[in-house]
Amino acid sequence: MSTTTENIVQVDTSDEETPLLKPQKPKGRTPLPKLQIGIVLLLQVCEPLCSQSIYPYINELVGTLDIVQGDKKKVGYYAGLIESLFFATEALTVLQWSRASDRIGRKPVLLLGLVGTILSILCFGLSRSFWTLVVSRCLCGLLNGNIGVMKSAMGELTDPTNRAEAFALLPVVWAAGASFGPLLGGSLARPADRFPQSVFAGQFWKDYPYFLPCLATASYTALTFVVTAIWLKESIPQKIKHTRKRVTSDASDITVTDRSPADAPDEDDNAPLPLRSVLTFPVVISILNYVTLAFLNISVNALLPLFFHMPVAMGGLDLDPVVIGYIMSLYGAGSGLFQIVLFSPLVRGYGVRKTFLLSVSTFVPVFMTFPLMSLVAKYYGVGWIVWSLLGMVLGLLFLMDTAYGCIFMFVTASAPNKRSLGATNGLSQTTVSAARAIGPALSTSLYSFSIEYNVLGGYGVYAVLATLSLGALLLAFQLPHKLWGEEDADEVGDSEGDDGALKN
């Protein structure tokens, strides 16, 4: 008499609710999907290209508005406000756009964001009053949630074996946009005054002297829209079916049945999480460091063109918009080249955390060099000493920009699961956009306030920002020595090694 014992074995192929860098050691590096990564990088260029193309001429433009009434001391207040509005309104909607992309897909949200960018930058070029400038910048921020969605797509297109290589490219292409944006803005502004009259002789170019750089950046964004619509594939992971296998002791009696998530007794473990569940310690501390980095960086970026534009007697260098555009372009190009050549060696040699700490530590000397350049310009003129100090500042900023590749990796690794990557990046971009909204308005207003009321000889703004930089460095020390999940991977690897030794 024979008996048959039936055993049930369940195989669940869904991902667990764990950080993206799972505790397992990869055997080899996965090749990057070059076309898809390339399209995401093209999308990444759009925001710095459009947002920073206004920097060479924004202070000159604000100086012509009736709201300033010819008082150059007020330029910093209104220019900083206009620069901040994009990030302020972006903060209101970027989380909603990112969470929507978790459900409807990355591609539709990215395409909508590109349309919003095109419309808003064209409206900016056609603006002739302070309030139309305000509306156009608000429109751009409200309709553009792409920055968080792009990072989500990048995280889905990579895995732990190639993520560092891919995320190292983000600061490079951002630097490319930050290089070409000011170059376009400074070179194409006021074409009726600078280019042949046979081409720009119409009254339109005199009435709208800053439309041409806006048209150029909008054209690039329109081209990116076409490329994205045709070739970008949806990167959001599909729901994975639960598979049940029924195995009997008789090898000839094997049945396999599939269950869809609707039939399974448990919820899809890889479904988007509620926002409250996303707010874990790894997510919060990673985002806080991203916020402080973005705030200090945008403060520098807003101060540089204002410092270059203001008269020497008011603490600036009194440079022409074309020269300002060239300097800002050099900053972007040099930063991109620095990332290409040195980012990977720095991360391999020192690790992600130490590289981030080194980068953040550059802010204090950067802010303290501004008053030194101003004092030299006042007493000796804008000569080789000033240009040498400016070169030193740019070199420090090149190193500072490596912090972005590091913090992107921390934020991506902190996500509770893959389907919550959009919410994680949306949450980070919401808080970062708020910081970027405060940064330009605060720094440029502090500049004008310091000059107007002679705070610390007119240099009070730099003392405040240097102090905040020290606080950012202290916060950076709270990051773990390895990316979230990598320490667990090491522990698992060590445990497996011990088990193997015992078995042998």
- CATH number of the CATH domain containing 475: 1.20.1250.20
- Reported as a single tens digit per residue, the pLDDT across 97-114 is 888 887 888 899 999 989
Of 97, 236, 163, 175, which is closest to residue 410 (Cα–Cα)? 163
In a domain, 6, yes or no: no
The arithmetic mean of pLDDT across residues 176-191, rounded, is 84
In a domain, 247, yes or no: no
Q: What is the mean pLDDT of the chain?
A: 79
Of 137, 88, 139, which is closest to residue 115 (Cα–Cα)? 139
Global model pTM greater than 0.75: no
In a domain, 168, yes or no: yes
- Reported as a single tens digit per residue, the pLDDT across 356-391 is 999 999 999 999 999 999 999 999 999 999 999 999
- Residue 87 pLDDT: 77
Of 228, 176, 149, 168, which is closest to residue 32 (Cα–Cα)? 168
Of 170, 164, 175, which is closest to residue 336 (Cα–Cα)? 175
The arithmetic mean of pLDDT across residues 1-17, rounded, is 42
- Reported as a single tens digit per residue, the pLDDT across 206-222 is 888 889 999 999 999 99
In a domain, 255, yes or no: no
- Alpha-carbon Rg of the chain, whole angstroms? 26
Q: Is the pLDDT of residue 303 over 80?
A: yes
Tally Cβ neighbours within 10 Å of residue 267: 9
In a domain, 246, yes or no: no
Contact 191, 185 (CB under 8 A): no
The CA-atom distances, in angstroms, between 292 and each of 345, 404, 439 are 25, 11, 10
Contact 406, 346 (CB under 8 A): no
In a domain, 329, yes or no: yes
> Residue 121 belongs to what domain range?
17-239+268-503
- Residue 273 pLDDT: 61
Q: How far apart are CA 180 and CA 168, in angstroms?
A: 20
Q: How far apart are CA 63 and CA 76, in angstroms?
A: 10
Q: Is the pLDDT of residue 164 over 90?
A: no
The pLDDT-based confidence of 485 (bands split at 50, 70, 90) is: low
**H helices within 126-145, ranges in order?**
130-143
In a domain, 256, yes or no: no
- Reported as a single tens digit per residue, the pLDDT across 100-149 is 887 888 899 999 989 988 998 999 888 888 888 888 888 887 877 677 78
Number of domains in the chain: 1
Which value, to the nearest 10 degrees, does the dihedral of the CA atoms of residues 249, 250, 251, 257 take? -70
In a domain, 2, yes or no: no
Q: Is the pLDDT of residue 249 over 90?
A: no
